[in-house]
Structure 1
């Protein structure tokens, strides 16, 4: 089983490398595994049979490998000279072997990355069978990467909760466990605790850098003989798995991040250059934690991964990435009710203790049909999130706001930005009323706001302020006298109300 970590089926190269650079002319044994690539020349020793040999001079001898590549002009001789079970690939005569070597290596790495998570679970099962106890594989952040599922092996609440949350629950006892584990150079044993049974663990490292750990429920007395040696030997394979998982997750995030940034910054030209088009009606979603939540780059990266994976798996397409400290996602327009449910499910999903994944505000755009509308749509969402942040208050898990519900507020915000240099609007009557209220502890501005909000209905405005209608009329009269208001004049009413509303965006 461990060998599945080190190779790719030979037919996979036929698909991935087909075209001008390298194409297959014979694949006799589909399923044969390629585990490495070499450039083979005259006088070189015979390579291992599981190698992909790039033969620079096939007339000097064709190695007995699972696959070979030759120049197009040498293909006929190579087909005759190679073993029947050897896959034969052909490269153009002017192709560089170093470029082909890099492409084959890339296919090997990609295959490894795609299988890493799946194989981690296979490895956990294999270890559990060999050790005689339930196994969990964790990364350096104590997230459960994989766990065994062998029937009949005893488990405790710590393991059960770790699997449900996909992360080890925090506890003083377990803090001591990890402190001891990271100091150890071999297998560490932990005795029964208040909430846990005994277990063995080994740290997984790349040099001195911790990558994660392997845990097995049980003691040296209850586990199979040689448990220590099995754990020590498995650490190297798990290190490879964890390293590749991190590499390919990071690589995928960088790729998505580059694409999303290009599409949001200059969508029309980027769409042409990258060959990308919206597959159907799409919404742009932006998620912001707010400054009070601090720096959560890892959490945002995980959120973008989940949004991308979930939308691709269930709706067929989707793209999410962290751009400038904010998560943006292009998601299929599945309708407001369904989309909100999807977003809330992602954000409210249980996470490690102390994880703030679900806290923050999500802004959702109107449906977008054209790439060229994405820049404007992003600016709209950024403005909406900025307005929500200005309101203040603690972020609410799954707080979703739609552009369609805030259209008037967004327009007023744009008007405020566009008129910020018009002094008469910034220092007019509304400002004088605000200053007067501050100096005399009065509420004339609030009275006028209530009157405007009620459309001039005195009874309704008085109810808003919880005062008698006569009291309200008196305040309105005093405000008109103090500030020279002529509220019977439509233009004056409009300008006064506009000054008060624009002040909310200052």
Structure 2
């Protein structure tokens, strides 16, 4: 998207653009006709237009906007999205939320904090006068502390913000270390997006009050545009990551588009839950993993079913573990996160790496909650044994043979022949070491081996037979 056009009074508009704002359109068909004339691929109309007709024009997507949203707000958001390149790579361009907080603080002559609907801090102004412990604690904790939230709730602040667009003053609470606060809702149409708070000893009046109200409108446009940009980027990113994990034929090209130029990539598979609730926790993990635009983070993520998959450039498994730890630290304490890390892979090997990460995730879920996430290149032996045990549970291990016959003999006669065979193989045929493992004399091992040879044909001198018995024993541990 490179340009925006608004239909004028001319019957045949000469202006062209990718997005058409259907201001004044009486029907969807009329807006589509305007879009075709302007060579636009998207037409935006308000919910008040006639929608009974169904335009048949191909190549024009129609988006219907809620009637409660003003065209000025729509135009600001659309122009911001289409002309996104005007922002600086550092994110401190003219629409940066922190820069906006600074400008608003200068206009109202008080320290400003911008919060979302859940009282989480989105941005704050430079230190100014009227700083108090409550503001400091809010900023450091990145959200309003519980005691402060309870205080505002008792004053009816949240009810007022949810129902009114007028600023509200909350008197100072000296005993709690809080100066006065002026708060105004951040809203687009009827949708509440957050709130703007100003530290001030008395209610704002005159031009400062007007500046606060106007600033809240600007914040609303910024939040709406940022949300739309982030959601669009998440969708594109997820589609490409899923393609890599499914073995896309053009994997190298897809990885390049995602900015994954490293040849040392790892797949991290994550699951999360809050108590018995899984889906809410998973969405929080995905939101956190994809917070920030692509250039500001090295990872790329997708949510597939009940698992978040992240592709991360990482030569060492500890790099992936640190990434997982940082993700966990940014989430609410009650969320439990399990993770599995693949071995190093190239872009063309990410489908295999996905399977490795899933198997490591299964390992982690079976371990204590405080255990470090396993990585495939460190835990491949345990995963191999899990695969063998899975084969055993599906009935694909032999029902007859030396190990099976010794196991049946143990059950019938309370002998320890299978344990003896396992210890002897583990000690590579050393009776003394095998006896130490079992806590018996080495002659007891030799005596048992002779009796075991009478029960079944062991062929312990054959290396292939020994290997086969070790594999079967590993697959049937605890059987």
Distance 2:304 2:368 in 1: 24
Task: Decide whether the 8 Å contact of 2:240 with 2:254 is kept in 1.
Answer: no
Task: Decide whether the 8 Å contact of 2:246 with 2:351 is kept in 1.
Answer: yes
Partner of 2:378: 405
Q: 1:248-293, CA deviations, whole angstroms, 9 ceiling, x for partnerless residues?
A: 2222111111111122214115767998596341313213235676
Cα distance change of structure 1 residues 211 and 107 upon mapping to structure 2, 3 Å threshold: closer
Larger displacement relative to structure 2 (249-258 or 319-328) = 319-328
- Determine whether 1:163 maps to 2:139: yes
Aligned residue among 454, 462, 470 for 1:497: 470
Q: 1:183-219, CA deviations, whole angstroms, 9 ceiling, x for partnerless residues?
A: 1134252642765413333333344443222222344
Distance 2:36 2:139 in 1: 50
Secondary structure of 2:185's match? strand
Aligned residue among 267, 284, 287 for 2:248: 267
Cα distance change of structure 1 residues 192 and 266 upon mapping to structure 2, 3 Å threshold: same
Aligned residue among 244, 247, 263 for 2:228: 247
Aligned residue among 136, 140, 145 for 2:122: 145
Aligned residue among 157, 168, 173 for 1:181: 157
Task: Decide whether the 8 Å contact of 2:407 with 2:418 is kept in 1.
Answer: yes
Partner of 1:134: 111
TM-score by length of 2: 0.68
Q: 1:131-176, CA deviations, whole angstroms, 9 ceiling, x for partnerless residues?
A: 33321111123321111114444132x433433343334x245245
Shift of 1:178: 5.0
Partner of 2:327: 347
Secondary structure of 2:268's match? strand
Task: Decide whether the 8 Å contact of 1:307 with 1:319 is kept in 2.
Answer: no
Shift of 1:444: 6.7
Cα distance change of structure 1 residues 255 and 463 upon mapping to structure 2, 3 Å threshold: farther
Q: 1:328-369, CA deviations, whole angstroms, 9 ceiling, x for partnerless residues?
A: 233334x31773475256335x43643638x4324032231x
Aligned residue among 368, 382, 394 for 1:393: 368
Shift of 1:417: 5.2
Distance 1:303 1:450 in 2: 48
Cα distance change of structure 1 residues 162 and 273 upon mapping to structure 2, 3 Å threshold: closer
The RMSD of aligned alpha carbons is: 4.6
Cα distance change of structure 1 residues 173 and 332 upon mapping to structure 2, 3 Å threshold: closer
Partner of 2:53: none
Number of aligned residue pairs: give it.
414
- Determine whether 1:363 maps to 2:338: no
Shift of 1:442: 8.8
For structure 2, which runs of at least 5 residues remain unmatched after alignment? 18-34, 44-59, 61-74
Partner of 2:285: 300
Distance 1:479 1:107 in 2: 86
For structure 1, which runs of at least 5 residues remain unmatched after alignment? 1-15, 23-35, 44-55, 59-67, 71-93
- Determine whether 1:234 maps to 2:219: no
Shift of 1:482: 11
Task: Decide whether the 8 Å contact of 2:108 with 2:211 is kept in 1.
Answer: yes
Cα distance change of structure 1 residues 327 and 463 upon mapping to structure 2, 3 Å threshold: farther
Partner of 2:313: 332
Cα distance change of structure 1 residues 430 and 229 upon mapping to structure 2, 3 Å threshold: farther
Distance 2:330 2:41 in 1: 43
Cα distance change of structure 1 residues 191 and 414 upon mapping to structure 2, 3 Å threshold: same
Shift of 1:378: 1.5
Secondary structure of 1:267's match? coil
- Determine whether 1:320 maps to 2:301: yes
Larger displacement relative to structure 2 (159-168 or 453-462) = 453-462
Distance 1:139 1:207 in 2: 16
Cα distance change of structure 1 residues 352 and 331 upon mapping to structure 2, 3 Å threshold: closer
Task: Decide whether the 8 Å contact of 1:306 with 1:346 is kept in 2.
Answer: no
Secondary structure of 1:142's match? coil
- Determine whether 1:203 maps to 2:188: no
Partner of 2:266: 284
Distance 2:465 2:296 in 1: 57
Cα distance change of structure 1 residues 440 and 98 upon mapping to structure 2, 3 Å threshold: farther
Distance 2:339 2:255 in 1: 31
Task: Decide whether the 8 Å contact of 1:112 with 1:244 is kept in 2.
Answer: no
TM-score by length of 1: 0.65
- Determine whether 1:378 maps to 2:344: no
Distance 1:482 1:290 in 2: 53
Task: Decide whether the 8 Å contact of 1:452 with 1:497 is kept in 2.
Answer: yes
Describe how 1:462-481 pairs up with structure 2 within 5 A: 467=439, 469=441, 473=445, 480=452
Distance 1:431 1:172 in 2: 65
Distance 1:290 1:307 in 2: 21
